[in-house]
Amino acid sequence: MTTAGAAQRRETTRREYNANLAECPGHEVLAALSDKWVTLIVSALADGPLRHGELARTVAGATQKMLTQTLRRLERDGLVTRTVTGTVPPRVDYELTDLGHDILPLQRAIKAWAETHIDRVHAARERYDGRHQEPRC
Amino acid sequence: MTTAGAAQRRETTRREYNANLAECPGHEVLAALSDKWVTLIVSALADGPLRHGELARTVAGATQKMLTQTLRRLERDGLVTRTVTGTVPPRVDYELTDLGHDILPLQRAIKAWAETHIDRVHAARERYDGRHQEPRC
DNA sequence: CAGCATCCTTTGGGATACTG
DNA sequence: CAGTATCCCAAAGGATGCTG
C-alpha cells in the first residue's frame, strides 16, 4: 500500500532541498555572516587580537555562552585562531586569520548597500504599515 | 533594597544592545538577506513576475506558510509588489520592485565571495574536525 | 487559487552554577 | 580567567484544515 507515500515523499523532498541549501556556498556564507554575533566579533578583532575577557567586554551584550560558541564556530571555519598561553591563570588570545580578514570587505560592501538603501526600505515599511494597520473606518 | 539590581540591569543592557543591533542598517539588511527563503524568492522573481502557485512550485521546499510570510515581509520592505486580479478564482502576481532588483548585485557579490573562499572554509573545517573529534586513544 | 488560523515540535538563546 | 554543563523559556518553523 502507498498510503504513506504522499506525506513521506514531501518530507523527503524537503530534506533534500534543505540539504542542497545547506551545501550551497552562498547560503553557507550568508548563514555564517548573518549570525547575530559573528559580525560583531569579527569587527572587534579587525584591529588586532583580543583576549577572551576583552572580547567579552567589547562585544557587551553577548552571553558568555554565545561568545564561546560563536568563537568555536569561527575557529572551526578558519576565520580566527585561538591561542592558549599558560595554564593558570589561563590566557587565551583570539585573532583573525587571513581568511577572516578577507570577509571584512564583504561586510563593508553589505554595510554600504545597507546605508544607501535602508531609507527606501524604511519608507516602504511606513507606507505599508500605514496602509494595513490603520483603522479603516 | 537593590537585590534585583544586578540581574535586572544586565537584562536592560542586553535589551538596549539588541535594540541597537536591530536598528543598525547593516544588521537589518543581513537579517533580511539571510532569511532562508528570501534569497530563493528574490532569485525566482529576478526573471519576471510570478503567480503565487508558480512561486510555490519554483521555490519547492518552502511551506505555504513560509512562502506567504516571506512574501509579506518582502512586500512590506518594498522589495516586491503584490497585485491581485479578480476575485474568483483569485490571481495574485508577485513582482520585484526596482529596490528589489537592486539587491541582486549584492546577492551576486556574496555568491562570488562564497565561491572563491568556501574551499578554504571547508578545508579549515576538516582540519578542525580531524583535530578535535578523532579518538585520541 | 490564495491565504488565514490552529496546533505541535524543534531549536536557539539566556541564566546559573561548577571545574581546571 | 576561561570554559563546560544544565536547566528553562520563547520563538521559529512545519503540518493540517478551513474560508472567500
Whether residue A106 and residue B106 make contact (CB cut-off 8 A), yes or no, is no
Band (B85; pLDDT cuts 50, 70, 90): very high
Statement: the CB of B125 is under 7 Å from strand C? no
Class of A35-131 in CATH: mainly alpha
Nucleotide nearest to B54 (CA to C1'): C1
Give yes or no for residue B124 having a pLDDT over 80. Answer: yes
Positions in chain C where some atom is under 7 Å from a protein CB: 1-6, 13-17, 20
The three grid cell numbers given for residue A39, joined into one nine-digit string:
559580525
List strands edge to edge, sheet with B50-51.
B50-51, B91-96, B80-85
CA distance B99 to B32: 13
The 10 Å Cβ neighbour count of residue A40 is 22
Statement: the CB of B73 is under 7 Å from strand C? no
Q: What is the CA B15 to C1' D10 distance in angstroms?
A: 15
Nearest CB to B115: which of A25, A36, A120? A25
- Across the range A51-77, mean pLDDT stands at 94
In this prediction the pTM is: 0.89
Q: How many CB pairs under 8 A join A and B?
A: 128
- Across the range A47-71, mean pLDDT stands at 94
Could you give the maximum distance between any two Cα atoms of chain B, in Å? Answer: 70
Give yes or no for residue A134 having a pLDDT over 70. Answer: no
pLDDT at residue B1, rounded to an integer:
46
Question: In chain B, which residue's Cα lies nearest the Cα of A130?
Answer: B76
Domain boundaries, chain A: 35-131
List, for residues A75-87, the tens digit of each pLDDT value: 999 999 999 997 7
